[in-house]
């Protein structure tokens, strides 16, 4: 291992050791599982590149690492591994997550995958990246479509079983996935009962733990988060701060942004759209039916259901404001904004839409705080000059 690979592992290792000595050990545990996968790959193990919704419960059955595009980009940008040059052979209007992953390969921060699995949902741009890698480097690719999802899942299982050793029994994978589901359900129960009991920033740092369901690492991370929440309950105090639901992502290079905004405005972020996962339990019998249904129950499968799920959470937490951060050039989310805006306006709920490129830009938090402060003043003793620290 030389150069950029060593640098990436060293930065991850420093972050793991730092977080291990804080009250947020669950973040250290989350990053450590990714560190181990990268270490294996850097030492010569092959890996499969996958789009976000290839079921982790299927991925973990085989003796091969599976890397999810968006999760690795999030780690790499968070560790400042990429420069600001966005020039790639990909179409200039493609999502920057896909540009960034291609940069990781071009700059030899990660080697080329041995195989690609592309689920044609929900991100079209992720599939375009997969197409490019397949055509340019002649990497084998397997597509999964919603139209025949169950069949495609079975077919990819048959293919992977012929290429890699099967190291996990389905019943054990199902048991671990459902254990993670139960932990997530308990965490959400507390988050509804005690709004703001855990930082929204922290949940946004680890929401891709969904890609580990079926592995022990998912239960370890969620147990750590649950333990942190349970410790906070004894000192929890309900206040009269306006509560906010955060839709979308946050800039990868400024992943404490919401905590900073809370410091300078009289508000509290209490829940995140990206944390709405893991609602569907699996069962061993008819495993592929269960995986198919799990994907169809995911948040972005149905916009009407997504709207009502967010609204239901808001009722439970008495949330007053919705802020949506629209990622530039996202291939599927921006076109739903008008539906959310119309729905929340009809319900008398304040809805703000802001935008930036979460991969390559730092968001100027003034625009968020200006929106919030149309409803509430700055905290006594703070002033607008303090906001300059957020840039």
pTM metric for this prediction:
0.93
Mean pLDDT per 10-residue interval, the chain, length 391 residues: 86 96 96 97 97 98 98 96 90 95 97 98 98 98 98 98 97 98 98 97 97 98 98 93 94 92 90 96 95 97 97 95 94 95 95 92 77 59 36 32
Task: Identify the CA nearest to 115 among candidates 190, 179, 59, 174.
Answer: 59
d(CA 173, CA 60): 8
* pLDDT for residue 85: 85
**Is residue 283 a contact partner of residue 291, using CB atoms and an 8 Å limit?**
no
Within 10 Å of residue 324's Cβ, how many Cβ atoms? Answer: 22
* pLDDT for residue 385: 39
In three-state secondary structure terms, 65 is: strand
The full set of domains in the chain, from first to last, is 4-163 (3.40.50)
* pLDDT for residue 96: 96
* pLDDT for residue 313: 97
Alpha helices in the chain (DSSP H): 4-20, 25-42, 56-59, 69-78, 96-106, 124-137, 149-163, 170-193, 200-206, 216-233, 257-264, 287-296, 303-317, 337-346, 366-372
Task: Identify the CA nearest to 264 among candidates 351, 368, 361, 356.
Answer: 368
């Amino acid at each position: 291992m030389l150069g950029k690979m060593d640098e990436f592992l060293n930065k991850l290792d420093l972050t793991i050791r730092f977080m291990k000595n804080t009250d947020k050990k669950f973040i250290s545990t989350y990053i450590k599982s990714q560190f181990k996968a990268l270490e294996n790959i850097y030492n010569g193990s092959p890996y499969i590149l996958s789009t976000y919704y290839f079921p982790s419960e299927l991925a973990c059955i085989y003796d091969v690492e599976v890397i999810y595009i968006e999760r690795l980009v999030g780690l790499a940008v968070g560790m400042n591994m990429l420069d600001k040059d966005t020039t790639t052979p990909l179409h200039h209007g493609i999502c920057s997550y896909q540009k960034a992953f291609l940069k990781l390969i071009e700059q030899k921060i990660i080697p080329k995958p041995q195989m690609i699995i592309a689920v044609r949902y929900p991100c079209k741009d992720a599939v375009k990246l997969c197409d490019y890698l397949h055509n340019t480097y002649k990497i084998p690719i397997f597509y999964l479509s919603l139209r025949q999802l169950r069949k495609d899942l079975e077919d990819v299982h048959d293919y992977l079983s012929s290429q890699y050793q099967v190291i996990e029994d389905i019943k054990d994978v199902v048991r671990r996935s459902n254990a993670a589901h139960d932990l997530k359900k308990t965490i959400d129960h507390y988050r509804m009962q005690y709004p703001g009991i855990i930082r929204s920033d922290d949940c946004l740092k680890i929401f891709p733990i969904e890609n580990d369901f079926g592995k022990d690492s998912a239960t370890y991370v969620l147990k750590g988060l649950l333990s942190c929440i349970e410790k906070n309950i004894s000192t929890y105090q309900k206040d009269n701060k306006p509560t906010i639901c955060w839709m979308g992502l946050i800039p990868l290079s400024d992943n404490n942004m919401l905590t900073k905004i809370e410091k300078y405005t009289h508000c509290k972020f209490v829940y995140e759209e990206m944390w709405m996962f893991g609602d569907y339990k699996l069962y061993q019998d008819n495993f592929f039916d269960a995986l198919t249904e799990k994907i169809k129950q995911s948040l972005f499968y149905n916009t009407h259901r997504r709207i009502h799920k967010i609204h239901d959470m808001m009722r439970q937490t008495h949330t007053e404001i919705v802020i949506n951060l629209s990622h530039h050039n996202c291939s599927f989310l921006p076109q739903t904004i008008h539906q959310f805006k119309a729905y929340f306006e009809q319900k008398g709920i304040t809805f703000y839409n802001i935008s930036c490129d979460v991969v390559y830009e730092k968001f100027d938090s003034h625009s968020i705080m200006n929106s919030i402060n149309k409803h509430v003043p700055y905290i006594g003793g703070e002033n607008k000059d303090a906001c300059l620290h957020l840039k």
